[in-house]
């Protein structure tokens, strides 16, 4: 069947539930996390499959943020110590993207440290944006998982989301570790035809011996200082042994091509494995030809902890090992560690060659052409004048030297009708900061009255001002924050700014949804009147609620420091807030236009019956309407009065 990346991840808990039932196990499933590319629509896809999930005792609880989700998930593995007549264990899935993995660091460490219950398992679905297409940073989460001691499996195709996902569950159940599944954007956003079946993949549970005794996993949620050292020993000396044994028993790391005459070996994993195969295919070096050319190929499925035995066995008799991977040399460092101290040395290259010259790039991602350009010259040293490699490198050289006409740029902007068009407007001389969310487009919008000069990470809104304010001559700044971010994590920032005595206006852009990840509901969100009352208790000095429809608030129970203003009074309100000492809050009440249109199409909201018409016969083409509204749907046309 054809599966997209997200569909494969929806199918994963269903397939696991069916397998468990067939094996006579009554397991429940708990899924929690926070949306973000490349898993932005996972929660919505789960919601669409909700009736089917319920039939399989799969509970999906979207979390306020990723750290909350990870900690909630740790509870699923406490089951053995509590009455549980209905289920034997819980399989738990966490989902999120790079910033969420970082935010959840301590929770992931504690969860992994504590372990998984007898029939339980935890898999961390880690969406990785290597190219920073939709993130404030390019992300590589491998090091976060290494820090937490969490094993990492890396699928090479969308279909492997399902196969390695099931292996990850079995590995977690067998070893007691939480297991991460590294899901990169190119695969999560893609899809392919996948063979599915009740016994695919076949899973082997190994008998693991540690120091001559059968390995038995256990959980410990006490984390008591000193006593936790024994848990640390078990995690790294016993549970990781079980992880490696599982990977070997199920051939998750595989030597795909080898011959007795090999001189050079390639070690790669995940998407880079797929790119390497494509690059080799473009050289005319499919499997049999690769063997004839003396090139050995190892595909790694478990990238942490790396199986040193397999690496040593693979590298035996080779002159050189080339490690092909995106981002920093995560595999490469482990390969070098595995090969260090052998009687006969093997040259290992990856991020740099033997002269220290950069080889495979660290920054951004790679595709098969980038792999070919870097790998081809290395292989030519072992297969001189190889016609396939020479031809492909010449083709790529010609493509790279092409000159393209520069296309006119179009700066990204808000959707037509977006409330941010109004809410992010500033007074002359005002300075605003941004944060992740649709409103971050303000950083590339050139109009000074909408521009933001810097951003923070999600959850950092306003806090840099606490450090900067004591040393700058500037008295006040504006911090934009979406309602999604506010309820995700930034609410505490307002409390901290009050405590620090900062002069700052938080502009809460209340559009009702987590708009830039698919218009999810606000988990833990509060209606505006209740929010104003909460903010008053935090010590906010003054709150302005700005709306196109003040009548809606006629009977609202607002905080005593809050007032409602029509949009037309926005400038006056902003000025008064800026002049107020302390923390002030501006709330713009305007629904996300994109979601509003979706709901109108679905008949959930009335379709508007009032329209603005610009009469071309009297339009002077001055452009003022465009500057004021910032509306992308306004098309400039030549009129009789001006062009």
Edge-to-edge order in the sheet of strand 264-269? 254-257, 295-300, 264-269, 320-324, 347-349
Query: Which of 348, 372, 383, 438 is in the footprint of ligand SF4 by CB under 6 A?
Result: 438
State the nearest-atom distance from the C-beta of 450 to ligand SF4, in Å. 13
Number of residues in contact with ligand SF4 under rule CB under 6 A: 19
Q: Residue 360: phi, psi to the nearest 5?
A: -85, 130
Does 342 bind ligand SF4 (CB under 6 A)? Our answer is no
| CA angle 353–128–120, rounded 5-degree value | 115
Contact region with ligand SF4 (CB under 6 A), list: 204-212, 354-362, 426-434, 587-595:
587-595
If binding is defined by CB under 6 A, does position 444 make contact with ligand SF4? Answer: no
Residues whose CB falls within 8 Å of the CB of residue 630, separated by 6 or more in sequence, listed in order: 413, 414, 421, 445, 447, 450
Selected from 194, 415, 546, 567, the binder of ligand SF4 by CB under 6 A is: 415
Minimum Å gap between C-beta 595 and ligand SF4 is 6
Q: Which residue pairs from 17-25 have beta carbons closer than 8 angstroms and sit at least 24 positions apart in sequence?
A: 17/56, 17/57, 17/58, 17/91, 18/56, 18/198, 19/166, 19/198, 20/91, 22/198, 25/88, 25/89, 25/119
By CB under 6 A, name the one of 95, 414, 433, 491 that touches ligand SF4: 414
Contact between 420 and ligand SF4 by CB under 6 A: the answer reads: yes
Q: Are 153 and 143 in contact (CB under 8 A)?
A: no
**Integer CA distances (angstroms), 250 to 141, 194, 349, 625, in order:** 24, 19, 28, 64
For residues 562 and 538, the answer to whether their CB atoms sit within 8 Å is no
The CB-of-412 to ligand SF4 minimum distance in angstroms stands at: 9
Q: How far is the CB of 219 from ligand SF4 (least distance, A)?
A: 43
Tell me the closest approach of the beta carbon of residue 131 to ligand SF4, in angstroms. Answer: 21
Q: From 413, 408, 418, select the one nearest 445 (Cα to Cα).
A: 413
For ligand SF4, give the closer residue by CB, 140 or 424: 424
Which of 86/624 has CB closer to ligand SF4?
Answer: 624
Binding segment for ligand SF4 (CB under 6 A), chosen from 335-343, 364-372, 588-596, 598-606, is 588-596
Q: What is the DSSP letter of 200?
A: P
Please tell me the distance from the alpha carbon of residue 610 to that of residue 500, in angstroms, as a whole number.
47
594 near ligand SF4, judged by CB under 6 A: yes
Q: How far is the CB of 632 from ligand SF4 (least distance, A)?
A: 10
CA distance 77 to 176: 10
Contact segment (CB under 6 A) with ligand SF4 among 12-20, 166-174, 403-411, 510-518 equals 510-518
- Please report whether residue 403 would count as binding ligand SF4 according to CB under 6 A: no
614 binds ligand SF4 (CB under 6 A): yes
Count the Cβ atoms, other than its own, within 10 Å of residue 285: 26
CB 38 within 8 Å of CB 71:
no
Q: What is the distance between the alpha carbons of residues 318 and 348, in angstroms, rounded to a whole number?
A: 10
Of the candidate spans 9-17, 293-301, 602-610, 614-622, the one that interacts with ligand SF4 by CB under 6 A turns out to be 614-622
Rounded CA separation 390/377 (Å): 9
Selected binder of ligand SF4 within 186, 348, 573, 592 (CB under 6 A): 592
Q: Taking Cα atoms as reference points, which of 320, 390, 394 lies closest to residue 353?
A: 320
Decide: residue 94, CB within 10 A, 0-12 exposed, 13-18 middle, 19+ buried. buried
Residue from 242, 418, 432, 455 in contact with ligand SF4 (CB under 6 A): 418
Whats the size of the chain, residue-wise? 643
Buried b (16+ CB within 10 A) or exposed e, 391-402: ebbeebeeeeee
CB of 106 or CB of 620, closer to ligand SF4: 620
Asked if residue 625 binds ligand SF4 (CB under 6 A), the reply is yes
Cβ closer to ligand SF4: 322 or 438?
Answer: 438
Query: CB of 607: closest distance to ligand SF4 in angstroms?
Result: 17
**Taking CB under 6 A as the rule, does residue 621 contact ligand SF4?**
yes
Residue 619 in the binding site for ligand SF4 (CB under 6 A): yes
Contact segment (CB under 6 A) with ligand SF4 among 89-97, 130-138, 334-342, 590-598 equals 590-598
Q: How far apart are CA 340 and CA 428, in angstroms?
A: 62
Tell me: does residue 511 bind ligand SF4 (CB under 6 A): yes
Segment contacting ligand SF4 by CB under 6 A, of 83-91, 357-365, 395-403, 617-625: 617-625
**Residue 515 contacts ligand SF4 per CB under 6 A:** yes
Rule CB under 6 A: is residue 593 a binding residue for ligand SF4?
yes
Instruction: Choose one: 5-13, 100-108, 119-127, 620-628; the region binding ligand SF4 (CB under 6 A).
Output: 620-628
Q: What is the dihedral of CA 376, 377, 382, 385, to 10 degrees?
A: 90
Residues in contact with ligand SF4 by the rule CB under 6 A: 414-415, 418, 420, 438, 511, 515-516, 592-594, 614, 619-625
């Amino acid at each position: 069947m054809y599966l997209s990346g997200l569909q494969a991840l929806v199918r994963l808990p269903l397939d696991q539930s069916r397998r468990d039932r067939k094996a006579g196990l009554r397991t429940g499933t708990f899924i929690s996390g926070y949306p973000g590319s490349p898993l932005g629509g996972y929660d919505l896809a789960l919601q669409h499959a909700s009736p089917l999930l319920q039939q399989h005792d799969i509970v999906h609880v979207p979390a306020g943020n990723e750290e909350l989700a990870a900690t909630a998930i740790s509870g699923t593995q406490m089951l053995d110590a509590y009455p549980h007549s209905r289920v034997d264990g819980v399989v738990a899935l966490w989902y999120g993207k790079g910033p969420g993995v970082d935010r959840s660091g301590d929770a992931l460490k504690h969860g992994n440290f504590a372990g998984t219950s007898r029939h339980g398992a935890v898999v961390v679905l880690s969406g990785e944006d290597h190219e920073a297409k939709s993130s404030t940073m390019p992300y590589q989460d491998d090091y976060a998982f290494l820090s937490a001691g969490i094993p990492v499996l890396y699928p090479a195709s969308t279909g492997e989301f399902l196969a390695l996902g099931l292996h990850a569950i079995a590995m977690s159940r067998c070893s007691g570790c939480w297991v991460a599944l590294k899901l990169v954007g190119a695969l999560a956003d893609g899809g392919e035809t996948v063979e599915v079946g009740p016994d695919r993949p076949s899973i082997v549970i190994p008998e693991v011996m540690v120091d001559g005794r059968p390995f038995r996993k256990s959980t410990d949620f006490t984390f008591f200082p000193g006593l936790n050292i024994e848990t640390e020993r078990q995690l790294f000396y016993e549970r990781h042994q079980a992880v490696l044994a599982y990977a070997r028993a199920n051939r998750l790391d595989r030597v795909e091509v080898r011959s007795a005459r090999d001189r050079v070996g390639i070690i790669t994993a995940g998407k880079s494995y797929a790119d390497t195969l494509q690059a080799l295919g473009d050289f005319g070096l499919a499997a049999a030809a690769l063997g004839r050319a003396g090139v050995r190929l190892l595909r790694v499925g478990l990238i942490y902890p790396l199986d040193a035995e397999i690496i040593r066995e693979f590298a035996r008799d080779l002159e050189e090992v080339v490690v092909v991977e995106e981002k920093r040399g995560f595999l490469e460092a482990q390969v070098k560690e595995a090969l260090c101290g052998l009687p006969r040395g093997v040259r290992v290259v990856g991020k740099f060659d033997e002269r220290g010259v950069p080889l495979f790039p660290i920054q951004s991602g790679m595709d098969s052409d980038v792999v070919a350009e870097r790998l081809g010259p290395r292989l030519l040293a072992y297969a001189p004048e190889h016609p396939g490699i020479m031809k492909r490198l010449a083709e790529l050289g010609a493509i790279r030297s092409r000159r393209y006409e520069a296309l006119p740029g179009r700066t990204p902007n808000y959707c037509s009708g977006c409330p941010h068009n109004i809410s992010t407007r500033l007074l002359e001389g005002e300075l605003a900061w941004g944060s992740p969310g649709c409103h971050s487009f303000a950083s590339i919008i050139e109009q000074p009255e909408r521009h933001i000069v810097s951003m923070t990470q999600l959850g950092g809104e306003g806090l840099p001002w606490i450090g900067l304010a004591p040393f700058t001559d500037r008295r006040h700044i504006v911090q934009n924050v979406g309602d999604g971010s506010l309820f995700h994590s930034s609410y505490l920032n307002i409390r901290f700014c009050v405590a620090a005595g900062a002069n700052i206006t938080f502009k809460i852009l209340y559009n009702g949804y987590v708009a830039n990840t698919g218009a999810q509901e606000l988990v833990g969100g509060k209606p505006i009147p209740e929010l104003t009352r909460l903010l008053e208790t935090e010590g906010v000095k003054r709150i302005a609620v700005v709306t196109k429809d003040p009548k809606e608030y006629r009977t609202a129970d607002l905080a005593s420091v809050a007032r409602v203003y029509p949009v037309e009074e926005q400038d006056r309100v902003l000025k008064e807030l800026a002049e107020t000492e302390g923390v002030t809050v501006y709330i713009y009440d305007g629904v996300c236009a994109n979601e509003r249109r979706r709901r109108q199409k679905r008949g959930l909201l009335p379709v508007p019956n009032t329209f603005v018409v610009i009469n071309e016969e009297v339009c002077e083409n001055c452009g003022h309407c465009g500057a004021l509204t910032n509306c992308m749907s306004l098309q400039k046309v030549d009129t009789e009065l001006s062009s």
